[in-house]
Structure 1
Amino acid sequence: MKKIDTKQYVDEFYKRIAEDNKVSDEEKQRAVAYSLGYTDEDIELGGDLGLGCGNPIQNAKLKDGEWLLDLGCGKGVDVFKAAREMHGTGKAVGIDRLPEMIERANFIRDKRGFDNADFLVSDIDDINLPDNTFDVVISNCVINLLEDKEKVYKEIFRVLKPGGRVSISDIIQIKKLPDDILADPIFHAT
């Protein structure tokens, strides 16, 4: 079986999404968002609710003044949702390896006036942020896209403050996939 350059394919797949500012099927995207616990108010924040597979903010139990990090934030919907819920000195930070995603997230942030949201280009398996910085780390259907998940989790616990919390929505594989699926790059990006 031919080895796929997963990272390159995933980057190209999500770069196209970042550069496309229109929703392909808004009605379906809303239906999925509602099924995951997002509200109309969340949907109006912007970002792209069609890329996640859960709602990590629901279980994060955010408190005023906390600092949150979103791994693989995309266009930032979970960062905006967190920023809206946190007050005072609270801050929500999103990282994504694609500059195009960060550019879109910053555009939405500036347009919506979220002063307590920041976005940075960074790999989630090599986070360019200091140790013990965040009270909460979240991720929404991103960790599955990386081959070295152990490295991601080491980074999560490095940037997390002692006693901090993690809330991850993701997909898992419970049995071996057929070779034809493993050979198809689209399944590595979705």
Structure 2
Amino acid sequence: MSIAAKDDVTVDADVLRDQVRDKYREVATNPHGEHHFHTGRYLAAHLGYDDVFVASLPDVAVESFAGVANPFSLRPLQEGERVVDVGSGAGFDSFVASHFVGPNGNVVGVDMTQEMLSKARSTAALLANATVEFREGLAERLPVEDGWADVVISNGVINLCADKRAVFAEIHRALRPGGWLQFADIANGNPVPASALNNVDLWTA
């Protein structure tokens, strides 16, 4: 499937997803390898996550974190809220969310990379965290019912999706009326040449 972009530039969404999976499969299985972005505890500290809570997590819960900012800095989550984490990866932000919402809340992490899902699920079991559930799915087709979420969070994921209109439409569908979207991402305010938009490698570089 190709997605129409500005000036009729098209990006093959399936090829883009395959490249994103390849990159984040490596982050899941080799978190301390050479990546073009920071990961893990260093990154969490740099982005202002709570040091005490992050220190309480085992390495496996933090080492594959590869976000771009801190969506919780926009608004602290509330006790009992239901949260969807779009592109949850190995689960770091989902575990942070579960800390905020407590035992009466619920967190659903959604990811498309099997290695990330496996790591997130095994870490949730290790932590005996029954508040968090990880589901396989795409940002464009979230596996949650209409209006289920009080809050949707995402961290460095929407920029990797070709059809952003579809992503935001899904987020709107999943949120209850009056719900919150708290996302951190990368945006470019300058025109991007068609040759760059068409180059899938540049989307993940």
With the shorter chain as reference, the TM-score category is: 0.7 to 0.9
Q: Is the 8 A contact 2:28 2:64 kept in 1?
A: no
Q: Which runs of 4+ in 1 moved over 6 A?
A: 1-4
Give secondary structure in 2 for the equivalent of 1:51: coil
Alpha-carbon offset, residue 171 of structure 1: 0.5
Q: Select which of 76, 80, 86 maps to 2:91.
A: 76
What does residue 24 of structure 1 align with?
A: 33
Structure 2 CA distance for partners of 1:65 and 1:175, relative to 1, 3 Å? same
**1:36 partnered with 2:54:** no
TM-score (norm 2): 0.81
How much is the aligned-residue C-alpha RMSD, in angstroms? 2.4
Give secondary structure in 1 for the equivalent of 2:74: helix
Deviations 1:28-81 (A, max 9, x none): 644432221113332553144641101112224311111000000000000000
What does residue 52 of structure 1 align with?
A: 67
Alpha-carbon offset, residue 103 of structure 1: 0.6
Q: Is the 8 A contact 1:33 1:49 kept in 2?
A: no
Q: Where does 1:1-190 land on structure 2 (aligned, <5 Å)?
A: 5-20=15-30, 22-24=31-33, 29=39, 30-40=41-51, 41-42=53-54, 44-45=56-57, 46-48=61-63, 50-177=65-192, 185-190=200-205
Structure 2 CA distance for partners of 1:95 and 1:7, relative to 1, 3 Å? same
Mapped partners of 2:189, 2:18: distance in 1: 25
Q: Is the 8 A contact 1:60 1:166 kept in 2?
A: no
Mapped partners of 1:182, 1:153: distance in 2: 20
Alpha-carbon offset, residue 90 of structure 1: 0.3
Identity rate of aligned residues, in percent? 30
Deviations 1:120-162 (A, max 9, x none): 0010101121101000000000000011000000000101011
Mapped partners of 2:177, 2:117: distance in 1: 28
Give unmatched runs, 5+ long, in structure 2: 1-8
AA partner of residue 42 (structure 1)? V
- Residues paired across the two proteins, number: 187
TM-score (norm 1): 0.87
Give secondary structure in 1 for the equivalent of 2:167: helix
Alpha-carbon offset, residue 14 of structure 1: 1.3
Mapped partners of 1:183, 1:123: distance in 2: 21
Alpha-carbon offset, residue 100 of structure 1: 1.6
